Amino acid sequence: MNLADVARRAGVSSATASRALSDHPHVAVATRERVWQAARELEYVASPDATGLARGTTGRVAVVVPHLARWWFGAALEGLSGALRAAGLDLLLYRLGDAEARQAFFDELPARRRVDAVVLLGFGVDERERERLDRIGVGIVAAGTRVGSHPSVSIDEYAAGRQAMDHLLHLGHRRIGMIAAADPELDLAQPAGRSTAYHAALADAGIEPDPDLTVTVTWSPESGARAMSELLGLADPPTAVYAHSDEIALGALRTLRRAGYRVPEDVSVIGIDDHPLAAITDLSTVAQPAAEQGELAAGTVIAGLAGEPVDPLVTVPTRLVIRGTSGRPPGRRGAS
Amino acid sequence: MNLADVARRAGVSSATASRALSDHPHVAVATRERVWQAARELEYVASPDATGLARGTTGRVAVVVPHLARWWFGAALEGLSGALRAAGLDLLLYRLGDAEARQAFFDELPARRRVDAVVLLGFGVDERERERLDRIGVGIVAAGTRVGSHPSVSIDEYAAGRQAMDHLLHLGHRRIGMIAAADPELDLAQPAGRSTAYHAALADAGIEPDPDLTVTVTWSPESGARAMSELLGLADPPTAVYAHSDEIALGALRTLRRAGYRVPEDVSVIGIDDHPLAAITDLSTVAQPAAEQGELAAGTVIAGLAGEPVDPLVTVPTRLVIRGTSGRPPGRRGAS
For chain A, give the number of residues.
336
Please answer yes or no on whether B251 and A101 come within 8 Å at the CB atom.
Answer: no
Q: Is B250 on the interface with A (CB under 8 A)?
A: yes
Give residue A90's pLDDT: 87
User: CA B54, CA B74: separation in Å to the nearest integer?
Assistant: 31
**pLDDT attached to residue B32:** 83
Cα separation of B127 and B21, whole Å?
Answer: 24
B186 touches chain A (CB under 8 A): no
Which pLDDT belongs to residue A53? 42
In terms of average pLDDT, the best of A14-18, A44-48, B8-12 is B8-12
Contacts of B82 in chain A (CB under 8 A): 95, 97
Concatenating the DSSP letter of every residue in B198-230 gives HHHHHHHTTPPP-GGGEEEE-SSHHHHHHHHHH
User: How far apart are the C-alpha atoms of A270 and A32, rounded to whole Å?
Assistant: 26
pLDDT at A47: 39
Domains of chain A, CATH where assigned: 1-44 (1.10.260.40), 52-155+289-305 (3.40.50.2300), 157-287 (3.40.50.2300)
Calpha distance A145→A152 (Å, rounded): 7
| pLDDT bracket for residue A333 (50, 70, 90) | low
In angstroms and rounded to an integer, the radius of gyration of the C-alpha atoms of chain B is 24
Q: Residue A156 and residue A315: Cα distance in Å, rounded?
A: 6
**pLDDT at A213 (0 to 100):** 98
The single-letter DSSP state of residue A98 is S
Other Cβ atoms within 10 Å of A203 Cβ, number: 12
Q: B81 CB near a chain A CB, below 8 Å?
A: yes
Q: How far apart are CA B158 and CA B176, in angstroms?
A: 17
B130 CB-near residues (< 8 Å, 6+ apart): B147, B148
Tell me if chain B has a CB within 8 Å of the CB of A220.
yes
Chain B nearest C-alpha distance from A87 (Å): 10
- Residues A148, A151, A153, A154, Cα dihedral to 10°: 20
Q: Is B281 on the interface with A (CB under 8 A)?
A: yes
- Nearest Cα neighbor of B117 from B299, B291, B311, B314 is B299
Residues A90, B95: Cα–Cα separation, whole Å? 10
Q: Please check whether residue A283 is in contact with residue A271, taking contact to mean a CB–CB distance below 8 angstroms.
A: yes
To which H or E segment does residue B40 belong? helix B29-41
Q: Which residues contact B230 (CB under 8 A, 6 or more apart)?
A: B215
Q: Does B30 touch chain A (CB under 8 A)?
A: no
How many residues in total does chain B contain? 336
pLDDT of residue B52: 35
| Chains A, B: CB pairs < 8 Å | 128
Closest Cα partner for A283 from B277, B299, B204?
Answer: B277
Q: Is the per-residue pLDDT at A185 higher than 80? A: no
- Do residues A154 and A124 lie in contact, with contact meaning Cβ atoms separated by under 8 Å? no
Distance of CA B311 to the CA centre of its chain: 20
Give chain A's radius of gyration (CA, Å). Answer: 21
pLDDT in tens, chain B (336 residues): 678 888 899 999 888 887 787 666 677 878 888 888 888 788 776 654 344 333 456 788 999 998 888 889 999 999 999 899 888 788 999 988 778 778 878 877 766 657 889 999 988 888 888 888 877 778 899 999 888 788 999 999 999 999 999 999 999 999 999 999 987 666 555 568 999 999 999 999 999 999 999 999 988 899 999 999 999 999 999 999 999 999 999 999 999 999 999 999 999 999 999 998 899 889 999 999 999 999 999 999 999 988 888 888 999 999 999 999 999 999 866 544
Q: Closest chain A residue to B252 measured between Cα atoms?
A: A280
- What ipTM was assigned to the predicted interfaces of this complex? 0.78
From the list B22, B95, B290, the residue facing A85 with the nearest CB is B95
Please give the Cα distance from B276 to B124 (Å, whole number): 25
Q: Which residues of chain A neighbour B88 with C-beta distances below 8 Å?
A: none
Return the H-helix or E-strand segment holding B21: helix B14-21
Of B24, B74, B224, the CB nearest to A74: B74
Give the whole-angstrom CA distance, residue B147 versus residue B163: 24
Collect all residues of chain B within an 8 Å Cβ-Cβ radius of residue A220.
276
B70, B75, B277 ranked by CB distance to A221: nearest: B277
Q: Which one of A88, A250, A280 has the shortest CB-CB distance to B251?
A: A280
Burial level of A246, CB count in 10 A (0-12/13-18/19+)?
buried
Alpha carbons within 13 angstroms on the beta-carbon side of residue A110 total 12
Nearest to B148 by CA among B165, B131, B164, B136: B131
Q: Are the Cβ atoms of B60 and A305 closer than 8 angstroms?
A: no
Is there a contact between B254 and A305 if contact means CB atoms under 8 Å apart? Answer: no
Nearest to residue B294, comparing CAs of B8, B81, B104?
A: B81
Q: What's the mean pLDDT when you consider all of chain A? A: 86
Contacts of B222 in chain A (CB under 8 A): 279-280
Q: Which DSSP state fits A207?
A: P
Residues B21 and B53: beta-carbon distance below 8 Å = no
Q: Give the C-alpha separation, B251 to B257, whole Å.
A: 10
CA-to-CA distance for B152 and B149, rounded, in angstroms? 8
Q: A218, A276, A206: which is closest to A243 by C-alpha?
A: A218
Which one-letter amino acid corresponds to residue B107?
D
Q: What is the pLDDT of residue B17?
A: 85
Residue B88 contacts A where some CB pair is shorter than 8 Å: no
Tens of pLDDT, residue by residue over A286-322, are 999 999 999 999 999 999 988 898 988 999 999 999 9
**Residue B256 — φ and ψ, nearest 5°?**
-60, -45
Give residue A297's Cα distance to chain centre: 14
* Dihedral pair phi/psi, residue A182, rounded to 5°: -155, 145
Helices within chain A (DSSP H only): 3-10, 14-21, 29-41, 48-51, 71-86, 99-112, 127-135, 157-170, 192-204, 221-232, 246-258, 276-280, 290-305
